[in-house]
Amino acid sequence: MEDISVKEVLDEIEKISDYRFFYNNNLIDLNRTVTVVADSNNVHEILNDLFANSEVTYRTLENNLIVITPKSILQQKKVTGTVTNAGTGEPLQGVNILVEGSLKGVISDANGKYSIDLENQNAMLVFSYVGFLTEKVTVSDRSIIDVKLSEDILSLGEVVVVGYGTQKRKELTSAVSSVRKDDFNKGPIANSPLQLIQGRVPGLGISRANGGDPNAEIQMQIRGVSTVRGNLSPLVVIDGVPGGNLNTVAAEDIESIDVLRDGSASAIYGTRGSNGVVIVTTRRGKIGAPAVEYSGYLYYEKYNNKVEVLNAEEWRNLKTEFANSSNSILRNKAESMIDYGGNTDWFKAISQNKLSQVHNLSISGANQKTNYYAALNFRDNKGLIKRSFNNIMNYRLTLSHSILDDKLVIDFNISNTFRKSRPSNYGAYTSAMLANPTFPIYNPDGTFHEEVDIGGSNLVASIYEYENDQQRSENLIITKATLNATKALKVSILGGFQRYNDIVGTYSYRYTSLGTVMPGRTGSAGRTTQQSIDRTLETTITYDKLIGDSHRMNIVGGYSYQDFEYEGFGASNRDFISDAFTYNNLNAGKALADGTYLANDVWSTKRSSKLIAFFARAIYSYKDKYMFTAGLRREGSSKFGNDNKWGFFPAVTGGWRISEESFLSNNPVISDLKFRVGYGITGNQGVEEYISLERLSGGGIMLYEGKWIDGYRPSSNPNPNLRWEKKSETNIGVDLGMFDNRLILNLDLYDRRTTDLLYQYTVPVPPNLYNTIWTNVGEISNKGIEVDIHLVPFHKNNFKWNSDFNISYNRNKLISLSNDFYKTKFQDLEDLGAPGLGNVNAYRLEEGQPIGNMYGYGFAGFTADGGWLFWDSNNENKVTASEAQYSDKRVIGNGLPKYWIGFTNNFIFRNFDATVVIRGAFGFDILNVKRLFYENRKLIPSNILKSGLSSPVIDDPQFSDYYVEKGDYLKLDYVTVGYTIPLKIKYISNARIYFATNNLLILTGYKGQDPELEINGLTPGFDRKENSGRDNLIDYPSTRTFSLGCSIKF
Amino acid sequence: MLCTMNFFILISCTNLDETVYSEVLKDNFYQNETEIISALAPAYAGLRQITGNMWEALSYCTDEALIPTRGKDWYDGGVYLRMHEHNWQAELGYFSGIWGYGFGRVNNANQLLFQLGQVEDKMDPTLYSKFVAELKIIRAFGYYNLLDNFGNVPIVEKFDVPQGFLPSNNQDFATGRNEVFNFTEKDLVENIDFLSGEKNQSTYGRFNKYAAFALMAKLYINAEEWTGTPRWDECIAACDSIIQSGKYQLETDYFANFLGKNENSTENIFVIPFSETRMDWALIWYWTSLHPSLVKKYNTTYGPWNGMCALPSHYNSFDSQDKRRNGWLTGLQYSSTGEVLKCVFESQPNPLNLTADFINIYNPSDPAVYDHTNALEYHGARFVKYEITRYPSWCMENDVVIYRLADILLLKAEALMRKSGGVANQEAVDLVNQVRSRAFDDAVSQEYNTSTLTLDALLQERGWELYFECVRRNDLVRYGKFVRGTWEFFDRSSEQDFRNVFPLPQDQINSNPNLVQNPGY
């Protein structure tokens, strides 16, 4: 059609199609003549041509109505469309559609449809969906925008949380690992949210040393032991608050956990970055309709490997065998083995088999102005030892609101945890090993059986005759205001308030099985209460700008203030007339009134410290090809000497994305290749307060003029020169993506060196008043390699398989413990204690050696009559225990794992999904303390390990490499199978059920129960969980759990 | 802008001063006499540690007591066996304990002398000079013990030394020991006159003149052994200062000196006070020695651990009529309500019958050898010389006797004898008989005369009178009977003389390169 008027064109369209037009004749130049080449049936194309250079435009409404208006009038514009999976064509529900540069956004519905009102047709829509590549679409004239999102198999566009900001993974220049909610380990999370990433992060060792005890902490370690006495755990940052307490966060409420592994990344956290930084981000609402989610699981825990001791029958057989022996010592033993006629499995007697449960309910949502997330979490964890439990109720509210045209955003983040618990009676577990299996638990009349004459106390009774009620409440309150001054400049201020307080009550009954034997005591009660408050204030200015197309600048500067306050109070009393009060009426005890109180019966204490820092960091990147970061933090801690309070923590990194270079940009195999290098200095201030000051404290009473007066004496050798422990670290890394990033390999090499080690050194007396002083002397080196491989072996519509494999190697060396003033060549640690090995140390911390060396005799055999033989220092002669000299001792093992591996596989087949986590540690030794003490018939009439029956040892226990075993293990852990129920119910958008197990299988040559042991501290690989003094071997069984859970989204 | 924001929130944003709550900063202390007296207390409180490592090490290496390995217990890496067999090495923790005890007293005193010097103007001058004198005597007490056990140790008399200062001992053992002797003697001689001459509540548990004279007597009696130069007359003079003061008399009942409430003993010259209600883990001989079933005999709160006992030869050497032997518990044991107590370890459920000898009384045909490496739970006489009271805590109530008149009388007798080549005169005989006679109902038949009182007899008498009072090693060394000692259970005949002193502790050698180890070690 040539030279016809616009009106005529419109009329023609109305004739041949269902479209109808509305327009105002006065406003539109309908008489303009145009030439239309109608080679298309698409009305929109014709109209686009028609109005291309005019002042008017059009908008398509329902029922094919098209409104034609001047462009100036069309301010409000509605855009609709459908979002589908580019690979499968299926609609995608829950896609976030945001107007770039604003908070305005919607979410796609179950059919992938969305609808959004725009104020500006120049707007750009951002389509983002977890696991998919984000698409940006310019709206311009269009009112229907259908978008196909491609799956981002292993996301490079993923945003990673780094200190005081975020960075895209492809821009990262240091070693940072990030695990998101969907990838967390499933299964019961009884101890700590960090179990969510156990085995997932290279270089991060996480150990549940106390099995499944719900009241025990877990241990974590990044890149080996880099300090000897400073704080050993990584810094935890929760929603921007450094030093956060993980107990305030329910595992279900966590969105992501990011781990800053190397010094260049963590230097921005200065004094506390030496052991790495773990950043926890909690969940927030998503734009769209409110979402309500329930998730919960039940779990059941059982012994994994029980300690095998003699049962009643074996005990009786042994007694008979001994009685008939020609050896008089054994015949005497037989006499001392009293058969009480019972048949008791003490482990069973002290254990409970109870279901534990966890429930989490959350609501969340967001619109253009407001974002909210609220959740209630309830955990009822039962321990394996009778009466032990841990009840946790946590609630969380996150609220964010923007005002002043989105210029100011206010955030509230409040969480409260109430915990009620009764700790496991560890002593009972140890005693169960040693108790006579023929001793009955109950008398025929139902009372506890006791043999008062010979001190036969009853284990089960000891659990019921002691109360230990602990209550704790923990809060974290974060308030944050962010001012978006300009598009590039942002100023924010964050206030954090973290608190815990607890109250504990203990009571030993008047006639406990212990009390019956020891008549002096009639009831003993105690109460303690503690409170700890941390306050944080952080202000930051961020400037983020893309200059031209290629220069990106991100500059952040800030100030940080934190103070920490702890106070506590406790009182106890004894000699009660009745058990009725337990610990609720201390005044009713007689001991305090009688004056037979002890020094510690009433106490109170308080301490505080402060950290203040100024920091700045600049990130520059050129076309995502060359990246450069420089940062520094100047931080001061009140704990150090007056002239040494402030430390300086710089970091520099550089990165080169070679894959952006022209010669690699179209490579069919390599999709991404980045080389990065970084250097940073971090600190450690994890020592007690006041060490630098000359203080006096109460101690040492004296009889003065016939009355006892309290003495005051110097609290310690003061060290006014106490300063930071400093760690410098070089990190070199390569990130390689291949085959469209279906294979990603991250490789990191590090060399970290800690100097000015904080340590309690042994100093000569005189001139020192006491024989130890806290000071900075030695040096430790840790070198290692970390490899992280992400692989997608299969990625088809109904079968997907993702695989993550990581391995890390660490070599540790204590370079020195001396300087001009302080000389320590070595120090012996870990007194093995009673029975029989008091004053015998099992470990040696020695210059030039790695941390964790076990130090003792080399086993050389047995004498003809079963005595010990050891090698002398030349390894030439065999000597008996009494001939052996200190110089015959040598390094007989090392308890620090050299290799850690983690191997995670995720499978999705139609509606089924499965996850298997395999993890392990290699290259270390374990001192099997149970064998050392209990695999020895000399211990009889205490019970012994079953393996003791065949052991040649009937002698005083001797510490040698006879009891040092290889600790290498591989665990099949966190095995989960889930099924998403294909519901077509209006009110339920998603429902999934799953079955999970923990600690399912342990492959190890270790003869003990579980080779997963303490990793922190100076005596790793010591298979006794806690050494609480000479007569107490404290221990907890290794456990396995089975859980059944579901999650429902409404 | 940052600063503006901070300004509203924080007055001072870089102040890192520490606030101390539960302790006192040094600069805020020593403000008045009460505080100064409180500061003096640790110097005396520290003396209590003598009953720990010091006392154990010095007793278990002698002919009076030991801790044998009993079943699975008390092997403890062989420390007790090594002490008994004289097979110790510098690494043994006991030596750090003895060193720490001696130098702890020296350091406490030096620190307080320094501190007092700074607040002299705030104090009454008499009190000041008395405190200074007492502190110097406490320092001398520390050096006496170092001299006895190690010999050649560094002399340190200042607290405010430059950082990195490391004291040294003499390169030559004999010269060094002489120097330490002279320093100790000087402190004693120069300060004794400033001490109180009172014997009453105000000096109880503290160094008055007579306690210092006792220390002096101890120093001089050992002068020949330690320095090569005998000082018998000075020893006699020091003893006489005490005896002739008339302030101390022998108790008629030997055990009156060791009661739970032994404050009224007329015989004790210097004691270290303990309190069962004010202390924990301070004095634990009851727990170290007694059998756990005896908790029902004495009705204490916590049951004992069945370790230390008398050597059989020591127990058997007593005359059966000697009442002092009752400080060692033997025989069948009963509860406070009269029931027979039972064995609870390897000999359960036999009755608890404590035997001085290490024999299997329940199976006389038992061919097993019982000795320090292998003892049954009822073997060995147990230590009950100090009265056992109720003990609600982990501390005994009895005040521990360091010096008492009986020791001084025996020392004077010894000095008199040694002066005349080991021959006793009547004065010496009278002094010894005075002590011995109260131990017997039929005293006359037990008395010595100038021909029966030999040095060997005197050494034995000291053993019966002063057993487990931490003097035995010192006595044996002085009598030349410590090395190559002939008591059971071990053949020490090839032992060398260097073991008359202990090695300097290895941890001190490691941390101070200026220290020279004792010869032989």
| Contact call for residues B258 and B398 (beta carbons, < 8 A) | yes
CB atoms within 10 A of CB B34: 9
How close A122 gets to chain B, by Cα (Å)? 34
Average pLDDT over residues A285-302: 86
Residue A954 in this model has a pLDDT that exceeds 50? yes
Question: Do the chains contact at A517 and B154, CB–CB below 8 Å?
Answer: no
Strands (E), B289-386: 309-310, 328-329, 331-332, 353-354, 382-383
Q: To which H or E segment does residue A603 belong?
A: strand A602-622
pLDDT at B379: 96
3-state secondary structure of A661: coil
Q: For B520, left (φ over 0), alpha (ψ -120 to 50), or beta?
A: left
**Distance separating alpha carbons of residues A449 and A456, to the nearest angstrom:** 9
pLDDT at A206: 80
Residues of B within 8 A of A957 (CB-CB) are 72, 75
Q: To which H or E segment does residue B116 belong?
A: helix B93-118
**Amino acid making up residue A1016:** N
- For residue A796, the 8-state DSSP code is -
Two tokens, residue A723: 């300063």
Task: Classify residue B162 as exposed, middle or buried by CB count within 10 Å of its CB (0-12, 13-18, 19+).
Answer: exposed
Nearest CB neighbour to B16, from listed A453, A636, A714: A636
**Distance separating alpha carbons of residues B86 and B497, to the nearest angstrom:** 11
Residues of A within 8 A of B508 (CB-CB) are 764-765
User: What is the value of pTM for the model shown?
Assistant: 0.81
Nearest CB neighbour to B71, from listed A761, A821, A938: A938
| CA dist list (Å): A268 to A27, A164, A258, A723, B399 | 61, 8, 15, 19, 60
**Amino acid making up residue B330:** T
**Distance separating alpha carbons of residues B428 and B435, to the nearest angstrom:** 11
Whether A703 contacts chain B with CB within 8 A: yes
A467, β-bridge pairs: A507
**Distance separating alpha carbons of residues B110 and B117, to the nearest angstrom:** 11
pLDDT at B481: 95
Examine residue B304 and say whether the peptide bond preceding it is cis (omega within 30 degrees of 0). Answer: no
A86, β-bridge pairs: none
3-state secondary structure of A568: strand
Q: What is the 3-state secondary structure (H, E, C) of A985-1019?
A: CCCCCEEEEEEEEECCEEEECCCCCCCCCCCCCCC
- Average pLDDT, rounded, for chain A: 85
Strands (E), A453-488: 466-484
How close B463 gets to chain A, by Cα (Å)? 29
**Distance separating alpha carbons of residues B310 and A608, to the nearest angstrom:** 52
pLDDT at A1037: 76
Residues of A within 8 A of B103 (CB-CB) are 765-766
**Distance separating alpha carbons of residues A875 and A853, to the nearest angstrom:** 19
A695, β-bridge pairs: B25
**Distance separating alpha carbons of residues A352 and A387, to the nearest angstrom:** 8
CB atoms within 10 A of CB A599: 16
3-state secondary structure of A185: coil
Whether B169 contacts chain A with CB within 8 A: no
Nearest CB neighbour to A454, from listed B295, B348, B373: B348
Nearest Cα neighbor of B153 from B95, B211, B111, B113 is B95
Examine residue A1037 and say whether the peptide bond preceding it is cis (omega within 30 degrees of 0). Answer: no
**Distance separating alpha carbons of residues A710 and A708, to the nearest angstrom:** 7
pLDDT at B60: 96
Nearest CA in chain A to B48: A700
Whether B338 contacts chain A with CB within 8 A: no
**Distance separating alpha carbons of residues B359 and B366, to the nearest angstrom:** 9
**Distance separating alpha carbons of residues A155 and A788, to the nearest angstrom:** 15
Torsion of CA A835, A839, A842, A847, to 10 degrees: 170
CB atoms within 10 A of CB A28: 18
pLDDT at A71: 65
Average pLDDT over residues A476-485: 93
Phi, psi of B361 (to 5 degrees): -75, -20
How close A62 gets to chain B, by Cα (Å)? 52
Residues of B within 8 A of A953 (CB-CB) are none
Touching B: A residues 672-691, CB under 8 Å: 689-690
Mutate to test the interface with A, among B72, B86, B161, B373 (most CBs of A within 10 A): B72
Whether A570 contacts chain B with CB within 8 A: no
Mutate to test the interface with A, among B76, B276, B302 (most CBs of A within 10 A): B76
Two tokens, residue A548: 């031209």
How close A529 gets to chain B, by Cα (Å)? 16
CB atoms within 10 A of CB A200: 24
- pLDDT one-digit tens code per residue, A491-514: 999 999 999 999 999 998 887 655
Mutate to test the interface with A, among B75, B86, B359 (most CBs of A within 10 A): B75
**pLDDT above 90 covers what percent of chain B?**
73
Rounded to the nearest 10 degrees, what angle do helices B232-243 and B209-221 cross at? 150
Mutate to test the interface with B, among A702, A705, A826, A933 (most CBs of B within 10 A): A702
**Distance separating alpha carbons of residues A1 and A34, to the nearest angstrom:** 8
Mutate to test the interface with B, among A696, A723, A724 (most CBs of B within 10 A): A696
Instruction: Give the CA diameter of chain B.
Output: 101
**Distance separating alpha carbons of residues B69 and A227, to the nearest angstrom:** 39
Residue-by-residue DSSP string for A370-392: EEEEEEEEEEEEE-SBTT-EEEE
- pLDDT one-digit tens code per residue, A609-635: 999 999 999 999 998 899 999 999 999
Whether B32 contacts chain A with CB within 8 A: no
Residue A361 in this model has a pLDDT that exceeds 80? yes
Strands (E), A384-428: 389-403, 408-422
Helix/strand/coil percentages in chain A, nearest 5: 15, 50, 40
Residues of A within 8 A of B77 (CB-CB) are 832, 836-840, 959
- pLDDT one-digit tens code per residue, B64-82: 999 999 877 888 878 899 8
**Distance separating alpha carbons of residues A39 and A906, to the nearest angstrom:** 51
pLDDT at A209: 62
| Contact call for residues A852 and B55 (beta carbons, < 8 A) | no
Phi, psi of A434 (to 5 degrees): -100, -10
| Contact call for residues A597 and A591 (beta carbons, < 8 A) | yes
Q: Which residue has the higher pLDDT, A376 or A196?
A: A376
| Contact call for residues A116 and A125 (beta carbons, < 8 A) | yes
pLDDT at A1025: 52
Question: Do the chains contact at B277 and A957, CB–CB below 8 Å?
Answer: no
Q: Which residue has the higher pLDDT, A676 or A8?
A: A676
Strands (E), B168-325: 268-272, 309-310
Two tokens, residue A698: 């109460």
- pLDDT one-digit tens code per residue, B442-472: 988 999 999 999 999 999 999 999 999 999 9
Nearest CA in chain B to A608: B19
**Distance separating alpha carbons of residues A433 and A345, to the nearest angstrom:** 10
Residue A1036 in this model has a pLDDT that exceeds 90? no
pLDDT at A37: 67
Touching B: A residues 922-961, CB under 8 Å: 936, 938-942, 956-957, 959
Residues 6+ apart with CB under 8 A from A25: none
Residues of A within 8 A of B1 (CB-CB) are 491, 541
Which sign, positive or negative, has the C-alpha torsion B463, B466, B467, B468? Answer: negative
Question: Do the chains contact at A711 and B40, CB–CB below 8 Å?
Answer: yes
Nearest CB neighbour to A765, from listed B73, B100, B368: B100
Least confident residue range of A610-619, A651-660, B341-350: B341-350
Two tokens, residue A84: 């589908």
Within a 13 Å sphere around the CA of A343, how many CA atoms are in the beta-carbon half?
3
Least confident residue range of A33-47, A705-719, B249-263: A33-47
pLDDT at A685: 87
Nearest CB neighbour to A700, from listed B23, B45, B280: B45
Q: Kindly indicate the confidence band of residue A27, based on its pLDDT and cuts at 50, 70 and 90.
A: low
The DSSP bridge pattern shows strands A147-149 and A77-85 to be parallel
Q: For B240, left (φ over 0), alpha (ψ -120 to 50), or beta?
A: alpha
Nearest CA in chain B to A709: B38
Nearest Cα neighbor of A205 from A814, A1041, A1004, A896 is A896
Average pLDDT over residues A255-259: 90
- pLDDT one-digit tens code per residue, B361-374: 988 888 888 999 88
Whether A699 contacts chain B with CB within 8 A: yes
Whether B346 contacts chain A with CB within 8 A: yes
**Distance separating alpha carbons of residues A947 and A957, to the nearest angstrom:** 15
**Distance separating alpha carbons of residues A701 and B280, to the nearest angstrom:** 12
Touching A: B residues 39-78, CB under 8 Å: 39-42, 44-46, 69, 71-78
